[in-house]
């Protein structure tokens, strides 16, 4: 069988230019995810820019501007849409070169299977193994679902990608691949951990008080998760588990410190479960053929029902602003899209349903605008056009540098009072007056 696979492999080999020539005007394409992208195919497609119109490409949180976008600065030929905004996507959005696709992350594969019909799916993958499989590396996510809805599947090989064990659907067999491009084996893009601020450290201190032995963690990217990871590594906590959408460097440090065992997990016991990984070379080397890690499609990792099966789930997520009604906006600044719903709703909802679980929204109490003026992130009402990422009915904990409050079971008055209590002191009187004006603040309970 191995010899037959090798023969079929050779039959399916194409150059990037040959693949690009297959694309027709009006085609719809799924274009890989996160730090992985088929670079040679991207470059070859960009060279055809003047020959094509209305080619629609969907990606997921791109971390580097594709060549096909650089080749089409007026968006006359390639229409790019992103399922989740990175800093790169956000920049392109402001230039009118990128659209956002709203969805909750765990429903992504179902949305694709119900409503998408891709002409081509471009996937970055490991070289074929002896059984004829191409491993997706650090990005499982939506890829396997996209492949099921593709007329043609093209794999671009990158030998520098770590081999990431499943889980489920972490690979695709040669029989389901139409063409193979030998890539240029570029080093995997690294995303260095963000430097934590003093405020991040203060917020983390409040959150740490809520974490117990045997907790199952979901941490994202940014300064705050890194601080929490460092604090956990130095703590007396033990037998922690991981069930997350994103695996990051801080989790490697926790594992190496002996804090992560997965011994108390109900499902995927002893496994660090994730749907994509993004970080530095340290993370990528840790993932390579590591049986402690399990890659799954996002309809498993982020399904609130799957999340809730484990006990003491700690889901920690950032926000842009929270209003006095306890509505959470985590993805836009007014009408400007800056991120996406991603898996925040999935994990906040799932964590609450976990036995002993806690879903925490964390944010600094203030921010400075371009003029240097200070504004509160806890506001009377969300700014016009702001997107509600987590509705008030689903919000459990909110944390700032001034404390952490639990809102479930509390009235609108009690919620407003609690949130004002963790707002910056310079804004509390003003917020109280505005709460009275909106009839959600009473001087007596």
The residues annotated as belonging to the active site are: 245
DSSP letter (8 states) at residue 49:
G
Whole-number Å distance between alpha carbons of 157 and 382: 46
Whole-number Å distance between alpha carbons of 190 and 179: 28
Task: Give the contacts of 364 (CB within 8 A, at least 6 positions apart).
Answer: 197, 199, 200, 203, 377, 400, 401
In 3D space, the residue among 171, 157, 93 whose CA is nearest the CA of residue 124 turns out to be 157
In 3D space, the residue among 59, 63, 66 whose CA is nearest the CA of residue 31 turns out to be 59
- Which two tokens mark 290? 């590591």
> Would you state the torsion angle of the CA atoms of residues 78, 28, 176, 113, taken in this order, to the nearest 10 degrees?
130
End-to-end CA distance of the chain: 75
Element (H, E) at 404: strand 403-406
Whole-number Å distance between alpha carbons of 153 and 145: 12
Please tell me whether residue 408 adopts helix, strand or coil conformation: coil
Which alpha helices (DSSP H) does 160-220 contain, by range? 198-208
What does residue 23 show for φ and ψ, rounded to 5 degrees? -70, 135
Angle, to 10 degrees, between the axis of helix 198-208 and the axis of helix 223-233?
Answer: 50
Element (H, E) at 429: helix 425-437
What does residue 367 show for φ and ψ, rounded to 5 degrees? -150, 160
- Which two tokens mark 275? 């749907």
Can you name the residues that pair with 315 across neighbouring β-strands? 218, 359
In 3D space, the residue among 360, 372, 376 whose CA is nearest the CA of residue 408 turns out to be 360
One-character DSSP codes across 212-270: -TT-EEE--SSHHHHHHHHHHHTSS--SBEEE-SEE-HHHHHHHHTT-B--TT-SSSTT
Beta strand 403-406 pairing with 397-400: antiparallel
Whether the CA torsion 392, 397, 398, 404 is positive or negative: it is positive
């Amino acid at each position: 069988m191995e010899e037959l696979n090798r023969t079929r492999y050779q039959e399916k080999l194409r150059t990037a230019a040959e693949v690009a020539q297959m694309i027709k005007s009006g085609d719809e394409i799924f274009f890989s995810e996160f730090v992985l992208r088929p670079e040679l195919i991207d470059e070859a497609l960009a060279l055809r820019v003047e020959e094509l119109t209305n080619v629609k490409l969907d990606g997921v949180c791109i971390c580097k501007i594709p060549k096909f976008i650089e080749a089409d600065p007026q968006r006359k030929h390639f229409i790019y849409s992103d399922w989740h905004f990175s800093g790169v996507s956000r920049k392109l959005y402001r230039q009118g070169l990128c659209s956002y696709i709203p969805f909750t992350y765990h429903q992504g594969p179902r949305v694709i299977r119900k409503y998408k019909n891709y002409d081509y799916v471009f996937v970055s993958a490991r070289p074929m193994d002896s059984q004829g499989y191409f491993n997706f590396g650090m990005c499982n996510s939506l890829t396997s679902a996209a492949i099921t809805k593709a007329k043609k599947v093209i794999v671009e090989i990158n030998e520098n990608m770590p081999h990431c064990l499943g889980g489920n659907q972490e690979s695709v067999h040669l029989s389901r691949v139409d063409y193979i491009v030998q890539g240029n084996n570029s080093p995997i893009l690294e995303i260095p951990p963000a430097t934590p601020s003093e405020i991040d450290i203060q917020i983390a201190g409040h959150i740490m008080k809520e974490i117990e032995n045997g907790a199952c963690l979901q941490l994202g990217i940014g300064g705050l998760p890194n601080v929490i990871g460092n604090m956990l590594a130095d703590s007396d906590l033990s037998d922690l588990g991981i069930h997350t959408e994103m695996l990051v460097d801080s989790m490697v440090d926790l594992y190496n410190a002996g804090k992560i065992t997965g011994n108390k997990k109900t499902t995927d016991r002893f496994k660090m479960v994730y749907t994509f990984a993004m970080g530095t070379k340290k993370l990528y080397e840790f993932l390579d053929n590591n049986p402690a890690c399990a890659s799954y499609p996002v309809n498993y990792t982020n399904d609130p029902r799957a999340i809730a099966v484990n006990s003491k789930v700690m889901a920690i997520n950032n926000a842009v602003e929270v209003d006095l009604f306890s509505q959470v906006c985590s993805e836009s600044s007014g009408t400007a899209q800056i991120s996406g719903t991603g898996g925040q709703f999935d994990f906040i909802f799932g964590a609450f349903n976990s036995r002993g679980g806690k879903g925490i929204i964390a944010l600094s109490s203030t921010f400075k605008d371009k003029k240097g003026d200070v504004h509160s992130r806890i506001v009377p009402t969300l700014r016009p056009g702001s997107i509600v990422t987590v509705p008030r009915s689903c919000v459990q904990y909110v944390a700032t540098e001034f404390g952490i409050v639990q809102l479930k079971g509390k009235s609108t008055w009690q919620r407003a009072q609690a949130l004002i209590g963790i707002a910056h002191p310079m804004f509390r009187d003003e917020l109280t007056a505005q709460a009275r004006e909106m009839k959600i603040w009473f001087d007596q309970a």
